[in-house]
């Protein structure tokens, strides 16, 4: 006889292959997954704008194309070393990539009196992205999409 409960559910309420959901842990896990998915989407958008295939980026970063694909799909949170390699391959600022990954940098920690986000700050942020002459139109679109994915989930 099996030791699991009826319908394959384990003692915590989840199936044998799936942990139970809910509570603060479930919310934190969902937030983490959303962050990893957004990072992966950002990396994919940047790679596509650079007109690089996964294999080309893999060669440039010394990371397997299978792993890069999993990062882009939000299945893995890349290490600091991998993020730096990806940022270099895409000609992106490493600090920006680290912030996108949810890792603070020394500059983030030294900022004082950061105002809480308001609905007008979202408009201001998008306006700043649109007005930045260093960004191409494709980069603006990608950044606004990633920004909205974070704001809409908050």
Is it the case that residue 100 has pLDDT exceeding 60? yes
Angle at 20 between CA 73 and CA 79, to 5 degrees: 35
Reported as type and span, the H/E element at residue 47 is helix 23-49
Angle at 103 between CA 140 and CA 101, to 5 degrees: 45
pLDDT confidence band for 106 (50 / 70 / 90): low
Q: How many CB atoms lie within 10 A of CB 112?
A: 4
Quick: pLDDT tens for 27-61: 777 776 777 777 888 888 889 988 999 999 999 99
Contacts of 84 (CB under 8 A, 6+ apart): 94, 97
- Over residues 95-121, the mean pLDDT reads 56
Quick: pLDDT tens for 122-154: 567 888 888 888 888 888 888 888 887 777 665
pLDDT of res. 52? 93
pLDDT confidence band for 4 (50 / 70 / 90): very low
> Looking at domain 32-104, what is its CATH homologous superfamily?
lambda repressor-like DNA-binding domains (1.10.260.40)
Contacts of 121 (CB under 8 A, 6+ apart): 115
pTM as predicted: 0.51
pLDDT of res. 123? 61
């Amino acid at each position: 006889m099996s030791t699991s409960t009826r319908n394959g559910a384990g003692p915590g309420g989840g199936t044998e292959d799936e942990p139970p959901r809910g509570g603060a842990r479930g919310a934190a896990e969902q937030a983490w997954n959303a962050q990893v998915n957004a990072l992966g989407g950002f990396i994919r958008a940047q790679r596509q704008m650079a007109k690089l295939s996964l294999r080309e980026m893999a060669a440039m970063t010394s990371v397997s194309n299978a792993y890069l694909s999993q990062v882009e799909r939000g299945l893995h949170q890349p290490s600091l070393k991998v993020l730096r390699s990806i940022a270099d391959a895409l000609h992106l600022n490493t600090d920006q990539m680290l912030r996108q990954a949810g890792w603070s940098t020394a500059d983030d920690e030294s900022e004082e009196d950061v105002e809480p986000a308001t609905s007008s700050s979202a408009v201001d942020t998008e306006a700043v992205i649109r007005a930045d002459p260093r960004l191409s139109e494709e980069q603006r679109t990608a950044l606004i999409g990633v920004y909205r994915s974070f704001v809409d989930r908050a």
